[in-house]
Structure 1
Amino acid sequence: MTRGARLILAATAVALLQVGFLGWIIAGRAAILRNGTEVLLQVKPIDPRDLLRGDYVALGYDISDLPVSLIANLAAGSTYIGEGPVTVRLKKSDAGYWHAVSAWLGKAPHAAPDGEADIAGNVLGGSNTEPGSTVRVDYGIGRFYVPEGEGLAIQNDIRVRPFGIRVALAQDGRAQIKALVDGDRTLFEEPLY
C-alpha cells in the first residue's frame, strides 16, 4: 500500500470516528426525548439573547433553589455543602407541575417509586446548612432556543403568567427539554434530531 493510500485510509477512519461520535451524542439525546419520563417544571424569568446562537428563553426553576432540609444524606452536624452532583426526587403537584420532595448528594439510594422521578443536577458553589437555607442546583436545562424575535416577548410573558417546560428524564436523571408551554398550549417543541 502506498503512502498516499495509507494517508487517505487514515483520514477516512478519523472522519468516520468523528461522525460516529456526533451521531452517538445526537442519538443519546433523542433516546431521552423519545423514552424518558416526562415532567412539567414551572419556570421563572431571566433575560434572553446569545450572540452566536440567537434568541433563547433563559429558564430558572423552583427546584433550582433546593432547601437543604430535603437532602437526606447530609452528614449530621455538617455546616457546608460543596460543589458536586445531586439527585433530586420529583413528584407531581395538584397544579400539574413537579416539585422536589427529597434529594441526595450524589446518586439516590434506590429507584424512584411510581408517580415520582429523579433529576440529576450539580450543586453550584458551597452553601451553609443553617435552618431554612437553600443550595443552588443546575440541571443543564437553563436555556431554550426559540425563533429569532420571539425570546424577549416570551421572557416578558413569563413575568406575568405561569409558563412551564416539559422535560424528559433518562433513568439516570439526565434531563432534556421537550417543549415550552404556556398554560395548556405548547408554544415550541424540540425536534428529536
Structure 2
Amino acid sequence: MKKHRLLISAILLALLQIGFLSFIIAGRAAVLRDGQEVLLKVEPVDPRDLLRGDYVRLGYDISNIPVSMIGNVPSGAQWIEAGPVFVRVKKDGDGIWKMVSASLYEPPSTPPGDDEIDIRGMVDDGRGLGRIDTLNVEYGIERFYLPEGEGLAIERDMRVRSFNIVAAIAGDGSAQIKALMDGDTMLFREPLY
C-alpha cells in the first residue's frame, strides 16, 4: 500500500513538472507564433556562453531611454525605482521600429496608434534622476544563440554593417526574438519549439 502511494506521488510530481515546462515552452511559442512582428536595429556586445554555446549579445536604440521621453515621471522626482517600463515604438519609413515615448511601471494611458506597439522592459536598478538623463532598459531579448562557431564571425560582421532582429511582441508587451537579419537577408530563424 505504501509503495503504491509513493509511486502515485512520484508520477503526479513528474506530470506536474512536465506540465510546468510545457506551459513555459507553449507560452514562448505563442508569442513567436501570434505576436506582432517588429524590426529592431541591433548592436553586438559579446559572443560566447560556456554552457549554451555561441551567442550574440544585442543592444538596441530603445535600450537607453532619455528621461525626457518618459511621460509619467512625477514632477520633482529624484529617483526611479527598478521595475517595468513600457516603450512605445512606431514603424519608421525604413521598416525599423523606433521609440516615440515611454511609461514607467504601467502601460501608457492612451492605446497605441497605427503602426505602434508597446514593448515591456525592465529598468534594471533604481536610478537618481538628478544624476542621469537616460535609463538602461532590458527586454529579455539581449541574447541570440547561434550554431557553434558562428558567434565570432557574426559579431565581427555586426561591427561593419547593419544587423536587425525580427521580434514578436505579445499583447502584454513581452518580446521574443524570431530572427536575426543581416540587412534584408535572414541569417537565423528561431524555431517555435
Query: Aligning the two structures, in what range does the TM-score lie when normalised by the shorter sequence?
Result: over 0.9
Give yes or no for contact 1:141–1:177 (8 Å, CA) kept in 2: yes
Question: 5+ residue gaps in structure 1?
Answer: none
Give yes or no for contact 1:46–1:57 (8 Å, CA) kept in 2: yes
Q: Which amino acid aligns with 2:98?
A: H
Paired position in structure 1 for 2:163: 163
Which has the higher mean CA deviation after the structures are superposed, 125-134 or 4-13?
Answer: 125-134
SS in 1 for 2:14: helix
Paired position in structure 1 for 2:60: 61
Aligned partners of 2:170 and 2:129: how far apart in 1? 30
Paired position in structure 2 for 1:91: 90
Question: 5+ residue gaps in structure 2?
Answer: none
1:123-162 pair list within 5 angstroms? 123-129=123-129, 133-162=133-162
Give yes or no for contact 1:84–1:124 (8 Å, CA) kept in 2: yes
SS in 2 for 1:135: strand
TM-score norm. by structure 2 comes to 0.95
C-alpha deviation, 1:130, in angstroms: 5.3
Aligned partners of 2:82 and 2:113: how far apart in 1? 27
C-alpha deviation, 1:21, in angstroms: 0.4
Q: Which amino acid aligns with 1:95?
A: D
Q: Tell me the percent identity.
A: 58
Aligned partners of 1:16 and 1:75: how far apart in 2? 48
Which has the higher mean CA deviation after the structures are superposed, 132-141 or 9-18?
Answer: 132-141
Paired position in structure 2 for 1:73: 72
Which has the higher mean CA deviation after the structures are superposed, 60-69 or 123-132?
Answer: 123-132
Paired position in structure 2 for 1:20: 19
Paired position in structure 2 for 1:8: 7
Aligned length: 192
Give yes or no for contact 1:67–1:132 (8 Å, CA) kept in 2: no
Q: What is the RMSD computed on CA atoms of the aligned residues?
A: 1.4
Q: Deviations over 1:78-124 (max 9, x none)?
A: 12222111111010112211111111111212432221011001112
Aligned partners of 1:164 and 1:7: how far apart in 2? 52
